[in-house]
Structure 1
């Protein structure tokens, strides 16, 4: 894919974000052939959205190759965030375990080892990722295509952090989602990736090559512990990770 096609795909996604609409598909000739091309489109969109405040990373199963996307600083919010109404379809809600970096992990001549990445993490946080797709047929397109749209990232909301839980075992962690005071889902070890800290190590080495490395203060959110559930707007959301913490937010009611 040449630079013109990358920029054309990125501009279509940026226009969809700005207008609050969905694309039926990427412009003809701008479909990525692989993740390398998809990440180039991601990077072009990310550059236009401003500073990167974090990353999302996930894997479909333990040992599977992860995928990732940058999160702009403008999309990161503390618990209690009141999200404006989303008008281009439903919002996907994912309850996640996130980390915040304490130290930079800059480029160097060899990969970062797992213990080095763990030592660079400041704290572990309960979090929401809000998924707002820019591609209408998101349920029927490839993950390579979804990657161009940052896998639908719309917002990231985090609760208070726990520095003493770096290295916690996600597979034994309970996660509960309440919507308007009603329990929607309750799972233990619900993230299919298993060890979420493996994902952070992979991301650290991926980002070194691609974006100059993880930075102190950036968040890394590691995939859903509850699956994705969709809401229409007007909801009060509360995610409880017993022993880790609580994160809350609301979504505006559509007019």
Structure 2
């Protein structure tokens, strides 16, 4: 009988939780990640099963904190207006975010990308909603390495139409209104604890995405919640409006 390596064991446990909807109290001690390197290796194994990468999430708790990231599969990336089956999820945490779509590849290389190279590779800015979820029984119950291994609580990403003149948007003073079933859940200005999102994208290009083959043209990168998370039950209609950028909507569960 073949014995799996710890990274493969952890990825298998997370994938089985998704498929069988039997949520994990934690990853087994023998295969729990002990470093961010372990966490990203587990992410890579999970993504190899979920499908090709369509997007990324990257964030940080403070402007001076080291970011963390998660690759997002095509299977959990949707356009605005989509009806998404509630059966995809264990929990439904709704967050409004600002994202960027790349117009050029940023492959791994020997020297770091400079800020002007990153700016030249960005094609547009977009309003997005992320549905936060977990493969663990309880929300926010795990150590940081396990949390990163589980795609940083990613459930789904819904991408609204954007604008190409993204440099004209003052993102740190951007207004965002998040609505759930027609009622305002959050209305904020700014709100991203990481500060300037371009710092996050530059870190992603130079560090976070390297083990995954870098960043590809067409990829969407979402840069962290600006509204905080609002938990809902299905069916639900969710919407985010970011004046000057655009709007994004989705229905979770039956269309009502």
TM-score under structure 1 normalisation? 0.94
Aligned residue number for residue 225 of structure 1: 226
Aligned residue number for residue 248 of structure 2: 247
- For the aligned residue pairs, the C-alpha RMSD in angstroms reads 1.6
CA drift of 1:185 comes to 0.6
Superposed structure 1 runs of 4+ greater than 4 Å apart: none
CA contact (8 A) 1:89 1:232 kept: no
Aligned residue number for residue 114 of structure 1: 115
CA contact (8 A) 2:94 2:131 kept: yes
CA deviations 1:58-85 (Å, max 9, x no partner) are 0001121000000001111100011111
The separation in 2 between residues aligned to 1:209 and 1:92, in whole angstroms, is 29
- The DSSP-based 3-state class of the residue aligned with 1:232 is coil
The separation in 1 between residues aligned to 2:177 and 2:146, in whole angstroms, is 30
CA deviations 1:193-222 (Å, max 9, x no partner) are 110111011101124531221000111000
Q: How many residues align?
A: 252
1:8 is aligned to 2:37? no
The separation in 2 between residues aligned to 1:247 and 1:217, in whole angstroms, is 18
The separation in 2 between residues aligned to 1:46 and 1:167, in whole angstroms, is 34
CA drift of 1:91 comes to 0.4
CA deviations 1:10-31 (Å, max 9, x no partner) are 0010011112231111123111
CA drift of 1:140 comes to 2.5
- The DSSP-based 3-state class of the residue aligned with 1:240 is strand
The separation in 2 between residues aligned to 1:197 and 1:168, in whole angstroms, is 12
Aligned residue number for residue 101 of structure 1: 102
Aligned residue number for residue 58 of structure 1: 59
Structure-to-structure mapping, 1:25-174, within 5 angstroms: 25-86=26-87, 89-166=90-167, 168-174=169-175
- The DSSP-based 3-state class of the residue aligned with 2:42 is helix
- The DSSP-based 3-state class of the residue aligned with 2:177 is strand
Query: 5+ unaligned residues in a row in structure 2: which ranges?
Result: none
Query: 5+ unaligned residues in a row in structure 1: which ranges?
Result: none
The separation in 2 between residues aligned to 1:205 and 1:153, in whole angstroms, is 22
CA contact (8 A) 1:99 1:122 kept: yes
CA drift of 1:57 comes to 0.2
The separation in 2 between residues aligned to 1:106 and 1:54, in whole angstroms, is 15
